[in-house]
Structure formats: C-alpha cells, structure tokens
Amino acid sequence: MSETLVLVTGVGGFIAAHVADQLLERGYRVRGTARGPKYQALAETVKRPGLEFVRIDDVATSDFTAALAGVDAVIHLACPLPGRKSVEETFSSAIEGTMNVVRQAQRAGVKKLVVTSSFGCLLSPTHMPAFHGLTFTEQDWGVTDDAEFEQQKDNKFYVYFTAKIKTEIALWDFARAHPELEVATILPGYVIGPYSASFPLPADIASMGTNDLVLQIITGGAVLPAPNWLVDVRDVARAHVLALTRLPLGGHGDARFIVNAATYPWAKAAAHIARARPALAGRIVPLDTIAPLPGVLSGLDNTRSKTVLGVGSYITPEDTLGAAVDAVLALQKHWAQVNREIRCTWRQGLLKCSLGNIMHLNIFGQHMVVISSAKVAKDLLDKKGSIYSDRPQSVILRLCGYTRTFPLLSHNETWRKQRRLVAYEFNVGSISKYYALQEKEAVTLVRNLLDNPDNLMREIQMYGVNGFTFPKSASSNNYDIRRIGSIIMRVTYGYQVKSVDDRMLAIPLQSLGNFSKISTPGAFLVDQIPALQYLPRWMPGSGFLDKVDTWHQMFMDSCWDPYQWSKTNIDTGDALMPNLCASIIQSQEEPLSDDEEAQAVYATGSILGGGLDTNMSSVLSFLMAMILYPQVQAKGQAELDLVVGKNRLPELSDRPNLPYLRSIMAEVLRWSPALPLGIPHALEEDDDYEGYFLPKGSLVIPNIWEMSHDPEVYTDPMVFNPERFDGVDAEMAKASSLAFGFGRRVCPGMHFAEGTLFSIIMTTLATCDVLAGLDENGKEVMPKYAYTSGTISFPEPFPVKLQLRSAAAATLLADISTVE
Ligand code: HEM
C-alpha cells in the first residue's frame, strides 16, 4: 500500500464513495470526513484496509487540524445539492466550506488539491446559454450578477449555481495567491449511476444524489425539461483520481476539466428507459406530454478530460442509465426491506408517495414533504398553521394572473383580506339562505338527466380530456353538468346562467381548463428557469409568452366581467339576491377603493375555481357508488321514504333526520376525495417533527387519498360502506373533513359544498333509481373505480341511467318551478 494519504471530504456521498473506492483500489490510503450520525454509521460498518474516518460536523467552520494530520492530498467533494439548504447555508457550505478546507490544507502544508466544481460554472446561473446551441469549454466562466441574484434568490438552481461559480472563482484566486498549491477542478454534468458497493446505501431520497431524477422518472414523476449533460458516477470518480495523479496541471485555465459523457436530454433518457425496460414503461409519464426544450441544446467539450487527464472512453449514457435504474430499483427494495415501504404511483398528475406517515423527497432541489397520515396532517397543518399555510409560488401561474386569487396567494395580508370577504358568506350560520336555490338546482339536474342521461358523461369526458372545451353542437338546454357552475354563478354574482353558451360561465370555465393545463407539474420550463419570462419575443423558445398573454386576458375577463355585471345590476334588480358580490359591496359604507375592489374581484373569482370541479367530481363519485352498491342505494331510499314520505321532495332542513344519507355523503367524500393530494402548502420556517427536519420552503403535500384509505382507520377502505360510521356524526366528520383540507387554508366553501352535494344525493335517491348505463349493444356497463389525473380528479367516464321510482316522483319533480 502506498504511503500517500488522501483526505476525501463528505466521503459517504454519492461521488465521494466511488472516489474512495478507486483510491483504495490504486493503493492510496484514504481518510474520509463525515458528519455526526453518518460518521458513526461509517465507522461502525465500513471496515477496509487503508480506510479511516474522521468526524467533521460543519465543513464551513470546523477545525481540520486532526483530519489533515499526515495528509498528502485533499479531494474536496462535500457540498449540498440545490435546494437542500437555505440561501445562506448553501453559500456557507459551498464557498466557506471549500475555502475553509483549502485554507487549512495550505496551512498544514498540503499541496495537492482536487475540488469538485460543476457544469454550472461554465455558464450564467440563469442557464439560458444552455439553449443557444453553443459548445462550452473549460475557458468558459459563469458570471454572477448581484442585481439579478436579488430577483432570483427564490430560485434554488440559481442560488446553487451562483454559489458554485463564486466558489470556483474564490478557489482560483486563492491558488493564484499561493503558487505552491497544485489545484485541479472537475466540472461534471449530471452525475448518475450505481452506488458504491462498499459504502452504506442512501437512507433516503435526500441523500440519493442526482439519481433522484431517475427515481422520479421511473415512478411517474415529471421529466426535467432541462439540459442533460450526462455522466456516469464511476467516470467522475475516475477523473478526480486521475487529476490527483497528474498534478501539477498548471493554472486555472489548464487545470479545469469538463467531465461529461454526452448531451442526453431527460426526455430522451425517459424514452430510452421505457424502451429498454418495458416493465417500467407504464410507470413513466406519457412521453408525448413531456415539454419540449426551449431552444437548441448546447454541448460540453470533454476533449481535455480525455487528452490531459486520460479518462479515455466514457461509459455510454445507455449503460449509465441502465446502471442507475438498477441502482434505484435495488434501493427501493432495500428501503422496503428495512420496513419503510415506499409506494410511488402516478395517479393524480403529481408524484404521490408514502413512506410511513410522512415522507421527504428532494426533487430537482425542491424539498417535498408528502403527508399520508391524518394525525400528522393535523399536527402540522392544523396545529402549526402559522408556518404551514403558505402556497408554493409558480412563475407561469403568476404570469397568467392566477396567483391573484386567494387559493394560490401566499400566506399574506392580501390572502387574509380576500379570504375574510368570502368566509362570512359561506360560514355554517350564513349558508341556509342558499338552501332553496341548492334544492331547486338539484331538481333541475335530476330532471335534465332523466330527459337525457347521455349528457352528463359526454360532457364530463370533454371536461376531463380536453380541459373544459364546450361541445360546439350542444343545444341550449344541455347544460346539466354546469348545473353546479350555475349554482355558483348565482350565489357568487346573482347571475342566472342562460344557456350552454353563456359567456359569463363559459369564459371562467375555459380559464379553469387553462389552469388545469398550466399547473401540471413540469409543464413549463419557466418554472425551472424563471429568466425565460424575460426572453425577447423574437427569440426561439419565447412562443409560450404569446399564450401567456391570451391566458392572462381570459383569466382577467373571467374575474372582472361577472363582477362588473353584478355590480351594475344590484340596483336594477337583475342581479338575484342574496349573492356574495352584493354582500361585499353593500357591507361597505364607503365605495370600495381600487385596491379593495380588486380584492373583491379576485376573491369572488376564487369561488368559481374552488367550487365547481370539486363538487362535480363528488356528484359523479356518488352516482358511481350508487351503481356499484345498489344495497346502499336501497337503504338510502328506504330512509327517505320513512322520514320524508312520498308526497313531497326532501329539503335540506330534513338533513338532521337522515343519518344514513349523511353517512352516504361522508363516505363519498372519503371514498373519492375530489382533490386526492389537496392543494400543496408551503413551509415558511424550518421545522422539526418527531425527528424529521423539515426545511423552510418545503412543499407540503397532504396525501388526502391515502389518509382516507388508511386500512388501520378504515377497514376495507376501497369498499363503499356508509355503515362504517355506525351513524355517528363525529366519525363521519372525521372522514369528510379530510376531503376539505387543513389548517388556515381549509376549504372555505365546505359547508356550502356539502349543501349542494346533499341536495343532489337526497333529490336523486328520493325520485330515481341510479342504474348502470348501456353500451351500443344494449349491455350494461359497470363503472370501474378509475379516476383522471390532475389536481382535481374525476371518475373516468361511465354511462349512467336514472329511472323514475314512481309516477308520483315524476309529478313532484315537475311541480318545482326552477325560475326565480
Ligand atoms: C366537494 C366539494 C369541495 C371539496 C372536496 C373541496 C376541497 C378543497 C380542498 C382540499 C382545498 C385545499 C385546502 C388546503 O389547502 O389544505 C380547498 C380550498 C378551497 N376551496 Fe374547496 N372544496 C370543495 C368545494 C368548494 C366550494 C363549493 C367552494 C366555494 C364556494 C370552495 C372554495 C375553495 C377555496 C376558495 C379554497 C382556497 C382556500 C385558501 O387557499 O385559503 N371549495 N377546497
């Protein structure tokens, strides 16, 4: 064994472990640094001749005297990946961490230093040049800009790459001032591949390295629409070791090395995995939904890594991807074995994972906390509402205007103002004034469905698939599914929707459809690279900005037009009373200021967005459940016959006397929550929960579907079984409240929503049998429990048939006037 002792910082990390392996194979002695618990685990489990460990808790501030004793060379790799730390900590770990090690090494007389840098040090931290069809060489440098940084400091990638650029500059400045030092830097592309066989496997996603992107692809997550300069971790480790052996290599112009196998976009990687691993293909998002890159991808020139370092030929991207997929699959198996089951399925357009009750993911540097237990959701989102009530901010949604409405506003004063404006109108004490309206609209829905049952599913299909496009040929009466939209327009603005083409509802619906498309994770690169919003309109890749203009205009019209109509018509009597808009306007002694008026416009605009699809989804789930569980239907009808009789239609005032119907409604909300993953919250401060560290800025996703299907709480959770509540309202409330979210962001329309849903349940069951529809051959088609993806989830289309229970029921339905 060689006498040369190399200090490897952050030795448990993805690349560092391979570096240590390769050094040992070449006969070097290795001393690895690791932090507290990691140090303990390494010292106890990794026993190899020539390898020792030393504990360093904070690379930026710790004393390295003991670590550097007798050391001949340092390979410095320890650095957090994007988003793993706050801005200050990222800078401190990257710049101070590197300089602390380098300064102390120089003082200790160590001459040879190899430092891991990044491809990000070759270009601006905006990454715009990545799409300009260039070829980067080691002569290229990223330039940082303090003013731009101020604008971009919420962008984790920008922060990370700024820190890396500053680190490399500081390092080379120091090297120039200390010519006795022999320094080399390694600038790899995205590093993926197998894990070292001699070190412990990563304990969680946060410590997977960039293999988390591979995990994301094979578990149906979004495919990163970013340049992918791809390189195998074994080649990157080899380059570090070769650089060490080749030192001295000259000044910074000569001793930087791009280490990269190929330019291989993530979409191509996804396509390759789908082809090479057919068993995984079904898990990968449909390839045609992956957003195209916004320009011509630039390349990295790796010539010098071959000619100067002697890397020779790189492992091919296909082999690297194969090894990375195997590594990730093995890791999942390993995690499962250590009794922490990981279940990842692509269902609702978002990564839905559960690892025990709470799971921390790090995806493209964005921390995500997925909560799958009602208790944890309440502990965090309810009890610690002061720090768990923010919303993640999306550039594309802001550009289109949607973040003006309070469901998407940050947890700030404007959100508070808007929420207050609607809270009173929809609180449990105020909503009874809308009961009559909800009852009438339920009657109209049932009547229209009896006349033409096909409408419901045909239109729902168009909503789900095309994003709320209206059928061009729909006749003016066929707007059953918009019955709920009609209720909301009536309640919010006092506006009676006149026909299927009524612009006052059609525009908001189209705007909602746009929202659905725009908010799909990963759909717009500008969310990853915010600088794209400033692209000049003539530039390739700026086409999305024209669409943004159209969507923005439609969003503004959808909020302002109905508001203006309502405001103008309060006094003419055309606006039907009561309505939310009138309540807001009339409750003010003075005319609203411009800002107050804008808040009223966006608060009322939020109601249609919040209350339409959610309620529609629940109504469809109710109809599906009635077809699949006829015994439940019969029991509900029996209760109605007993309590209400057959001589009148039920009313919302009957609700207290209809416990079985109440449990049907609770079971609908539990069985098929309309927002299976809720709306993500964002964490405003670092938090600790039962040993988990949850970093500030994390996206907190309440996995409502999992909570509502927890087998430990709900026996046979997939079975629609209202009996599970034993008629106890508190048990029903526990289940149904999950569907409406948590904490300060809890759905403000929940009582109103329950009124609408209950009206439809009771009117349908009192008058009709809900039966399976027929296919073109006259055969019954039983619905399947299958739901569309998207934030709000609908049952996949299924045919339904309503059949009048009696002639008396027909008379009762016909007798109700629906004209106000
Ligand atoms: C079955 C029907 C409904 C369901 C399942 C539902 C569910 C939800 C959920 C899960 C949230 C997110 C809560 C969170 O962030 O933790 C939410 C928010 C919201 N809902 Fe509902 N909702 C329904 C009906 C309605 C109705 C009828 C309205 C309006 C009258 C409405 C207005 C809103 C608004 C404005 C928000 C945003 C609240 C905020 O961010 O402060 N929802 N809803």
pLDDT at 394 over 90: no
Q: Give the mutation target among 747, 751, 793 for probing the ligand 1 site: most ligand atoms within 8 A of CB.
A: 747
Between 156 and 398, name the one with better pLDDT: 398
Q: Give the mutation target among 404, 581, 740, 752 for probing the ligand 1 site: most ligand atoms within 8 A of CB.
A: 740
**pLDDT for position 349:** 29
**pLDDT for position 475:** 30
What span, in angstroms and rounded, lies between the C-alpha atoms of 273 and 288?
15
The domains found in the chain, sorted by start residue, are 5-338 (3.40.50.720), 380-815 (1.10.630.10)
As a whole number, mean pLDDT of residues 120-141 equals 89
pLDDT at 229 over 70: yes
How is 783-815 classified by DSSP, letter by letter?
--S-B--SSS--BPP--EEEEES-HHHHHHHHH
Amino acid making up residue 741: G
**pLDDT for position 347:** 32
Task: Confirm or reject: Cβ of 752 under 6 Å from ligand 1.
Answer: yes
How is 80-134 classified by DSSP, letter by letter?
PPTTSS-HHHHHIIIIIHHHHHHHHHHHTT--EEEEE--GGGGS-TT-GGGGBT-
pLDDT at 354 over 50: no
As a whole number, mean pLDDT of residues 360-382 equals 79
pLDDT range class, residue 458, cuts 50, 70, 90: very low
As a whole number, mean pLDDT of residues 56-72 equals 92
- Kindly give the distance from the C-alpha atom of residue 526 to the centroid of ligand 1, in angstroms, as a whole number: 27
The per-residue pLDDT for range 562-575, each reduced to its tens digit, is: 999 999 999 898 99
**pLDDT for position 805:** 96
Q: Which two tokens stand for residue 232?
A: 């195998």
The per-residue pLDDT for range 636-658, each reduced to its tens digit, is: 999 999 999 999 999 999 999 99
Between 736 and 363, name the one with better pLDDT: 736
- Kindly give the distance from the C-alpha atom of residue 575 to the centroid of ligand 1, in angstroms, as a whole number: 25
**pLDDT for position 522:** 64
Residue 164 annotated in active site? yes
Nearest CA to ligand 1 atom 17: 747
Nearest CA to ligand 1 atom 7: 740
- Kindly give the distance from the C-alpha atom of residue 349 to the centroid of ligand 1, in angstroms, as a whole number: 19
- Kindly give the distance from the C-alpha atom of residue 525 to the centroid of ligand 1, in angstroms, as a whole number: 28
Longest dimension (CA), the chain: 100
Task: Confirm or reject: Cβ of 529 under 6 Å from ligand 1.
Answer: no
Ligand 1 atom with the shortest distance to the CA of 746? 13
What burial letters (b/e) apply to 506-537, b meaning 16+ CB within 10 Å? bbbbbbbbbbbebbbbbbbbbbbbbbbbebee
Task: Confirm or reject: Cβ of 418 under 6 Å from ligand 1.
Answer: no
Amino acid making up residue 817: S
**pLDDT for position 3:** 81
pLDDT range class, residue 348, cuts 50, 70, 90: very low
- Kindly give the distance from the C-alpha atom of residue 511 to the centroid of ligand 1, in angstroms, as a whole number: 17
pLDDT range class, residue 454, cuts 50, 70, 90: low
pLDDT range class, residue 343, cuts 50, 70, 90: very low
**pLDDT for position 240:** 97
Task: Confirm or reject: Cβ of 485 under 6 Å from ligand 1.
Answer: no
Task: Confirm or reject: Cβ of 758 under 6 Å from ligand 1.
Answer: no
pLDDT at 681 over 80: yes
What burial letters (b/e) apply to 692-720, b meaning 16+ CB within 10 Å? eebbebbbbbbbbbbbbbbeebbeebeeb
Closest alpha carbon to 493 in 406, 584, 610? 584
**pLDDT for position 356:** 44
- Kindly give the distance from the C-alpha atom of residue 424 to the centroid of ligand 1, in angstroms, as a whole number: 15
Nearest CA to ligand 1 atom 14: 741
- Kindly give the distance from the C-alpha atom of residue 607 to the centroid of ligand 1, in angstroms, as a whole number: 9
The per-residue pLDDT for range 69-111, each reduced to its tens digit, is: 999 999 998 766 554 556 677 777 778 889 999 999 999 999 9
Task: Confirm or reject: Cβ of 736 under 6 Å from ligand 1.
Answer: no
Name the least confident of 281-295, 352-366, 703-717. Answer: 352-366
- Kindly give the distance from the C-alpha atom of residue 610 to the centroid of ligand 1, in angstroms, as a whole number: 5
- Kindly give the distance from the C-alpha atom of residue 753 to the centroid of ligand 1, in angstroms, as a whole number: 9
**pLDDT for position 455:** 64
pLDDT at 44 over 60: yes
Residue spans of alpha helices (H) in 673-749: 704-708, 729-738
Name the least confident of 346-360, 370-384, 672-686. Answer: 346-360
The per-residue pLDDT for range 498-550, each reduced to its tens digit, is: 876 788 888 888 888 788 778 766 677 777 677 777 777 776 667 788 889 99
pLDDT at 722 over 90: yes
What span, in angstroms and rounded, lies between the C-alpha atoms of 761 and 14?
55
Task: Confirm or reject: Cβ of 364 under 6 Å from ligand 1.
Answer: no
**pLDDT for position 270:** 92
467 touches 517 (CB < 8 A): yes
With a pLDDT cut of 70, the percent of the chain lying above it is 88
Nearest CA to ligand 1 atom 37: 407
How is 23-67 classified by DSSP, letter by letter?
HHHTT-EEEEEE-HHHHHHHHHH---TTEEEEE-S-TTT---HHH
Task: Confirm or reject: Cβ of 739 under 6 Å from ligand 1.
Answer: yes
Task: Confirm or reject: Cβ of 242 under 6 Å from ligand 1.
Answer: no
Task: Confirm or reject: Cβ of 606 under 6 Å from ligand 1.
Answer: yes
Ligand 1 atom with the shortest distance to the CA of 681? 15
pLDDT at 384 over 60: yes
- Kindly give the distance from the C-alpha atom of residue 790 to the centroid of ligand 1, in angstroms, as a whole number: 15
Task: Confirm or reject: Cβ of 408 under 6 Å from ligand 1.
Answer: no
**pLDDT for position 502:** 84
Task: Confirm or reject: Cβ of 746 under 6 Å from ligand 1.
Answer: yes
Residue 747 known to bind ligand: yes
Average pLDDT, the chain: 85
Task: Confirm or reject: Cβ of 793 under 6 Å from ligand 1.
Answer: no
633 Cβ neighbours under 8 A, 6+ residues apart: 626, 765, 769, 770
Nearest CA to ligand 1 atom 34: 610
- Kindly give the distance from the C-alpha atom of residue 716 to the centroid of ligand 1, in angstroms, as a whole number: 27
**pLDDT for position 363:** 52
Closest alpha carbon to 481 in 462, 467, 494? 462
**pLDDT for position 796:** 83
Nearest CA to ligand 1 atom 20: 747
Nearest CA to ligand 1 atom 16: 741
Between 780 and 87, name the one with better pLDDT: 780
Which value, in Å, is the radius of gyration of the alpha carbons in the chain?
Answer: 30
- Kindly give the distance from the C-alpha atom of residue 421 to the centroid of ligand 1, in angstroms, as a whole number: 15
What are the DSSP E strand ranges found in 296-410? Answer: 299-300, 342-346, 351-355, 358-363, 366-371
**pLDDT for position 345:** 33
The per-residue pLDDT for range 404-433, each reduced to its tens digit, is: 999 999 999 999 999 999 998 888 888 998
Nearest CA to ligand 1 atom 27: 611
pLDDT range class, residue 708, cuts 50, 70, 90: very high
Task: Confirm or reject: Cβ of 787 under 6 Å from ligand 1.
Answer: no
Given 85, 112, 156, 164, the catalytic residue: 164
Q: Give the mutation target among 389, 415, 614, 792 for probing the ligand 1 site: most ligand atoms within 8 A of CB.
A: 614
Sheet of 681-682, strand order: 358-363, 366-371, 699-702, 681-682
What span, in angstroms and rounded, lies between the C-alpha atoms of 145 and 149?
6
Nearest CA to ligand 1 atom 1: 615
Task: Confirm or reject: Cβ of 614 under 6 Å from ligand 1.
Answer: yes
153 Cβ neighbours under 8 A, 6+ residues apart: 87, 159
Nearest CA to ligand 1 atom 24: 611
Residue spans of alpha helices (H) in 186-232: 211-218
Task: Confirm or reject: Cβ of 749 under 6 Å from ligand 1.
Answer: yes
Ligand 1 atom with the shortest distance to the CA of 408? 40
- Kindly give the distance from the C-alpha atom of residue 749 to the centroid of ligand 1, in angstroms, as a whole number: 6
Between 270 and 151, name the one with better pLDDT: 270
pLDDT at 464 over 50: no
Task: Confirm or reject: Cβ of 558 under 6 Å from ligand 1.
Answer: no
Task: Confirm or reject: Cβ of 674 under 6 Å from ligand 1.
Answer: yes
**pLDDT for position 622:** 96
